[in-house]
Amino acid sequence: MYSYKSPIRDVRFCMQEVLGFASHYASLPAGADVSPTDVDVILKAAGKFAEEVLAPLNHSGDEEGAHFEYGKVRSPQGFVDAYKQYVDGGWPRLANPEEQGGETAPYSLKLAMSEFMQAANHSWCMYALLNDGAIKTLMSFADAKLIEHFVPKLVSGEWLGTMCLTEPHCGSDLSQIRTRAEPRDDGSYAVIGTKIFISSGEQDFSDNIVHLVLARLPDAVPGTRGISLFVVPKMDDRSASGNANSLRCLSIERKMGLRASATCVMTFEGARGWLVGEPGRGLNAMFAFINNSRLGTAQQAQAHAEGAFQSALAYARERLAGRSPLASASGGPSALITHPDIRRMLLTQKAIAEGGRALVLYCAKWVDLADSGGAEQRASAAERLAVLTPIAKGALSEWAGEATDLGIQILGGHGYMKEWGLEQRVRDVRITRIYEGTTGVQGMDLLGRKLLGPLRHGLTDLSDEILTFCRQVTAAELKVMIARLTEAVKTWLALTDLAAERSAADPAFAGSVAVDYLLLAGYVSVGYMFILSAQVASSKLADGATEEAFYRAKIQTAQFYFDKLLPRIHAHASSIANGSESLTGMPEASFGLEV
């Protein structure tokens, strides 16, 4: 099995050379004291932790799985000790409020270093890296007393948080939530109901677990407007006795992937909780957590693409098979990497990993601005994220499935075996296309809810930024890429206009084309990341940079993307133009025999 290596140089390239994080941090209150040297130190330390502590536990954790006995969860061997090292290293405190015991830094820095941990051991991260969303939600919506009680121990890592949305009878349709919260005399609430698919709902990492639970008050109106948010701790240390709260883990799921992560069925049996924010505004408050998690899911997917690429590349360099047309006329079998089709697959993986990384970090810059910019800047950043987040989550999770599957294909029969870890990545990454909203949900959020609604100008702002940059690029070697990206942006805009026109007469149109639309948007957005990267690399080479091979590879990867991957938008465009008739015209009975 190949040992994962943290791609620190590539992350530094994205942050410092392409996306200008040094000046970005200098403009932020949370980043003013964070220098490029500080960034490098943090990336290297996180990379070392991922390589030396987390990666060795990934395969063994998958083989052992999470254990459930008598209502308790036991994580695989080594997981708890790794978490203690994580806490002792101060990692939970990074980029969290200083007044709550955190260490001031922009969110983007923590997200950047999290890639290494997600690639090294996704299952372990499902226990340890959910806290930031819980902290952000409480800091944004909870009252001062709740913040004072819960947030410092979440920031320190002593306690861990969860997000409790889904119920047995409903998945993404949260309007059907039945969990209820009944007022108690002391100002708290008795929370009653069952939640499923709760990551780390029960675990052995921390003494207490802070559940953020969506529920309905007795007088709640139907639908999502009647949902409120409650903080419900496993250990009710605010009560006089400090006893365990009235909640239990009933079971953990037997899953396709992430077998070392405990996905729990939780029952709340009159558990004591406290209202977070305003009654009936729970979904609005929880979206601070959800949006945080959606970008995190995009990164999880991208991290798997990177890990799969590394394994496949190592194998392709070592394995000899057949005579390549790129090899010399004499000699024996050629290394796999010399064969054109193997190169196609490797470059597809590389493009997904590197383009996805740049898109995630580009989004993270906007999160920084939404968190701590001026009022106007915050509003603008929130709108840009509203457009980018579903694109990043939906597109990258789809493409990461392709990238990990290509890893198996490159290794052939060996990829299908467990030894190289590719089959585990295929299983583990598959969930990223489902949780925090499926690809279809992301597509409808982007097209139906936003771009055909109040946020069309968000697309206009993004497209103007891309087209303005394209007009400014003068490097001759990038002219063809610039022309292709410019046409792709125009196609995206034209199809948005078409969707608006057709949706006015066809209520099913948006839902029929939403996934095609989202993937097309993804290809264009990542194309922008590649032209930004290629322009920087071209300038560096023109200035005589010493890392010539590194920068030349950036241009060559971008060239591959524009030659082989961006053209996929034409198939998506044709599908969108063909509308909904072939989807909606068939009677239900004609789908096949009833079962």
Average pLDDT over residues 287-302: 90
Average pLDDT over residues 188-203: 97
For residue 436, give both structure tokens: 């925090």
What whole-number distance in Å separates Cα of residue 478 and Cα of residue 247? 59
Residue 1 clears pLDDT 80, i.e. is over it: no
pLDDT in tens, 369-422: 999 877 888 999 999 999 999 999 999 999 999 999 999 999 999 999 998 999
pLDDT for position 285: 87
Asked if 524 contacts 569 with a C-beta cutoff of 8 angstroms, the reply is yes
pLDDT for position 374: 77
Specify the 3-state DSSP secondary structure of 195: strand
For residue 123, give both structure tokens: 């299952």
**582 burial type by CB count under 10 A (0-12 exposed, 13-18 middle, 19+ buried):** exposed
Residue 153 clears pLDDT 90, i.e. is over it: yes
**473 burial type by CB count under 10 A (0-12 exposed, 13-18 middle, 19+ buried):** middle
Average pLDDT over residues 259-278: 97
Radius of gyration of the chain (CA): 24
What whole-number distance in Å separates Cα of residue 129 and Cα of residue 118? 9
At residue 236 the predicted structure's pLDDT band, cuts being 50, 70 and 90, is confident
Residue 329 clears pLDDT 70, i.e. is over it: no
pLDDT for position 172: 79
Looking at the domain assignment, is residue 554 inside a domain? yes
At residue 291 the predicted structure's pLDDT band, cuts being 50, 70 and 90, is confident
pLDDT for position 51: 98
Share of the chain above pLDDT 90, in %: 88
Q: Which domain holds residue 515?
A: 439-580
Asked if 209 contacts 233 with a C-beta cutoff of 8 angstroms, the reply is yes
pLDDT in tens, 58-104: 999 999 999 999 999 999 999 999 999 999 999 999 999 999 999 99
Question: How many independent structural domains does the chain possess?
Answer: 1
Residue 238 clears pLDDT 70, i.e. is over it: no
Looking at the domain assignment, is residue 128 inside a domain? no
Across the chain, what does the average pLDDT equal? 95
Q: Which helix (H) or strand (E) holds 16?
A: none
Residue 241 clears pLDDT 80, i.e. is over it: no
pLDDT for position 332: 78
What whole-number distance in Å separates Cα of residue 392 and Cα of residue 13? 20
pTM of the entire predicted model: 0.96
CA pseudo-torsion sign 389, 395, 398, 399: negative
For residue 482, give both structure tokens: 């610039």
Question: Which residue type occupies 313?
Answer: L
Average pLDDT over residues 570-581: 97
Looking at the domain assignment, is residue 535 inside a domain? yes
Residue 432 clears pLDDT 80, i.e. is over it: yes
Q: Which residues are catalytic?
A: 436
Residue 251 — φ and ψ, nearest 5°? -170, 170
Task: Tell which residue, 127, 118, 128, 110, has the closest CA to residue 50.
Answer: 118
Looking at the domain assignment, is residue 566 inside a domain? yes
Residue 240 clears pLDDT 60, i.e. is over it: no
pLDDT for position 363: 98
pLDDT in tens, 19-71: 999 999 999 999 999 999 999 999 999 999 999 999 999 999 999 999 999 99
Looking at the domain assignment, is residue 446 inside a domain? yes
Looking at the domain assignment, is residue 568 inside a domain? yes
pLDDT for position 15: 98
pLDDT for position 288: 80
Looking at the domain assignment, is residue 408 inside a domain? no
Looking at the domain assignment, is residue 556 inside a domain? yes
pLDDT in tens, 501-552: 999 999 999 999 999 999 999 999 999 999 999 999 999 999 999 999 999 9
C-alpha angle 562/564/569, rounded to 5°? 75
